[in-house]
Amino acid sequence: MIFLGVGANLPSPRFSSPRETLEAAVRDLGGAGIVSLAVSRWYETAPVPISDQPWYVNAVYRVETDLDPVRLLEALHRVEAEYGRVRGEVNGPRVIDLDLLDYRGLCRDGAGDGAGPVLPHPRLHERAFVLLPLRDLAPGWTHPRSGASIDRLIAELDPEQTARPLGS
């Protein structure tokens, strides 16, 4: 299975809410051969690290594609740019964030020829805004590197992280 994390805390130029932006972006990924199979509940989440920026909306999508991880990440970055993502401030506010979380359990360090994504996402195990929606889709998921269950990873999260399900 392939999982994408999506999040935003600013409206985009084309849509009035971060959630509308994210839903449209995932639909647009279909043009790159990335098919959405399922989506978690949507969550309202505090910024990590805690700051005075607006709260985020986050979800996780299960997708399928024939693209390899490098091409998939390139497609995600292309859609982010089309939706107004400007890379700059780390952990800053954003109109869109599309992350490749897990690509069929593959482990990659991103080094060497054709670098590309580190897999699984190097910080997914530290983030309530990823783990809670991921558990909605894959309650039996285990971390490909550590073998830790998703429930164990959630239990080990910093209690300062706030993530609560949004209404439909």
Which one of 41, 52, 71, 85 is the catalytic residue? 85
pLDDT tens digits for range 131-144: 999 999 999 999 99
Which one of 14, 66, 78, 97 is the catalytic residue? 97
CATH code of the domain in which 66 resides = 3.30.70.560
Residues 6+ apart with CB under 8 A from 166: 19, 41, 42, 43, 44, 57
- How many other C-beta atoms can be found within 10 angstroms of the C-beta atom of residue 82? 13
Q: Which residues pair with 61 in a beta bridge?
A: 4, 39
62 has catalytic annotation: no
DSSP 139: T
pLDDT at 24 (0 to 100):
94
pLDDT tens digits for range 97-145: 999 999 999 999 876 555 779 999 999 999 999 999 999 999 999 999 9
78 has catalytic annotation: no
pLDDT at 93 (0 to 100):
87
Q: Does this model's pTM top 0.75?
A: yes
Number of domains in the chain: 1
User: Whole domain around residue 88: which residue ranges?
Assistant: 2-165
pLDDT at 98 (0 to 100):
96
Q: Interhelix angle for 69-82 vs 18-29, to 10°?
A: 130
State how far the alpha carbon of 3 is from the alpha carbons of 44, 55, 88, 110, 138, in Å.
19, 22, 25, 18, 10
94 has catalytic annotation: yes
Residues of the chain scoring pLDDT < 50:
none
CB 7 within 8 Å of CB 58: yes
Query: What is the CB-side half-sphere exposure of residue 144 using CA atoms within 13 A?
Result: 19
Which one of 19, 62, 99, 127 is the catalytic residue? 99
pLDDT at 168 (0 to 100):
59
Rounded CA gap, 144 and 112, in Å?
20
DSSP string, 87-118: --STT---S-EEEEEEETT--B---STT----
* Pairing mode of beta strands 2-8, 43-45: unpaired
Which one of 94, 102, 127, 135 is the catalytic residue? 94
